[in-house]
Amino acid sequence: MTQKTPAYGARGAKAPVAPMTIERRDPGPHDVEIEILYCGICHSDVHKVNDDWGNTQFPIVPGHEIVGRVVSQGTRASRHREGDLVGVGCFVDSCRACEQCRAGHEMFCTKGATFTFDSLEQDQKARTYGGYSANMVVDERYVLRVPKGLEASRAAPLMCAGITTYSPLRRFGCKPGDQVAVMGLGGVGHMAVKLARSMGADVTVLSTSPGKAEAAARLGAKAFVATSQPGALDPLGGTFDLIVDTVSAPHDLDKPLALLRNFGTMVLLGLPPDATSATPIKASSLVFGNKRLAGSNIGGIPETQEMLDHCGKNGIVADVEIIRAEQINEAYKRMQRGDVRYRFVIDCASIGA
| Per-residue pLDDT reduced to its tens digit, 165-185 | 999 999 999 999 999 999 999
Whether the per-residue pLDDT at 53 is higher than 90: the answer is: no
Residue 265 and residue 286 share a domain: yes
Would 187 be classed as within a structural domain? yes
Residue 171 and residue 273 share a domain: yes
pLDDT for position 273: 66
Whether the per-residue pLDDT at 275 is higher than 60: the answer is: no
**pLDDT, tens digit (0-9, with 9 covering 90-100), for 216-229:** 999 999 999 999 99
Cis peptide, bond prior to residue 132, ω within 30 of zero: no
pLDDT for position 277: 60
**pLDDT, tens digit (0-9, with 9 covering 90-100), for 305-318:** 999 999 999 999 99
**pLDDT, tens digit (0-9, with 9 covering 90-100), for 144-169:** 999 999 999 999 999 999 999 999 99
**pLDDT, tens digit (0-9, with 9 covering 90-100), for 204-214:** 999 999 999 99
**pLDDT, tens digit (0-9, with 9 covering 90-100), for 71-121:** 999 999 999 999 999 999 999 999 999 999 999 999 999 999 999 999 999
* Selected residue with higher pLDDT from 280 and 291: 291
Domain of residue 153 covers: 2-160+299-304+316-350
Residue 260 and residue 182 share a domain: yes
Residue 207 and residue 130 share a domain: no
Q: Is the pTM for the entire model greater than 0.75? A: yes
Residue 154 and residue 7 share a domain: yes
Would 59 be classed as within a structural domain? yes
Residue 143 and residue 228 share a domain: no
Q: What's the pLDDT band for 1 if we cut at 50, 70, 90?
A: low
Whether the per-residue pLDDT at 278 is higher than 80: the answer is: no
Residue 145 and residue 256 share a domain: no
Would 206 be classed as within a structural domain? yes
Q: What CATH number corresponds to the domain at position 224?
A: 3.40.50.720
Residue 127 and residue 88 share a domain: yes
Residue 183 and residue 275 share a domain: yes
**pLDDT, tens digit (0-9, with 9 covering 90-100), for 327-349:** 999 999 999 898 999 999 999 99
Q: What's the pLDDT band for 260 if we cut at 50, 70, 90?
A: very high
SS (H, E, C) the chain: CEEEEEEEEECCCCCCCEEEEEEEECCCCCEEEEEEEEEECCHHHHHHHHCCCCCCCCCECCCCCEEEEEEEECCCCCCCCCCCEEEECCEEECCCCCHHHHCCCHHHCCCCCEECCCCECCCCCCECCCCCECEEEEEHHHCEECCCCCCHHHHHHHHCHHHHHHHHHHHCCCCCCCEEEEECCCHHHHHHHHHHHHCCCEEEEEECCHHHHHHHHHHCCCEEEECCCCCCCHHHCCCEEEEEECCCCCCCCHHHHCCEEEEEEEEECCCCCCCCCCCCCCCHHHHCCCCEEEECCCCCHHHHHHHHHHHHHHCCCCCEEEECHHHHHHHHHHHHCCCCCCEEEEEHHHCCC
Would 224 be classed as within a structural domain? yes
Residue 76 and residue 42 share a domain: yes
The mean pLDDT value of the chain amounts to 95
Q: What CATH number corresponds to the domain at position 142?
A: 3.90.180.10
Q: What is the count of structural domains for the chain?
A: 2
Residue 115 and residue 249 share a domain: no
Would 170 be classed as within a structural domain? yes
Would 76 be classed as within a structural domain? yes
Residue 223 and residue 103 share a domain: no
* Selected residue with higher pLDDT from 159 and 250: 159
Would 310 be classed as within a structural domain? no
Would 240 be classed as within a structural domain? yes
Mean pLDDT of 173-198: 97
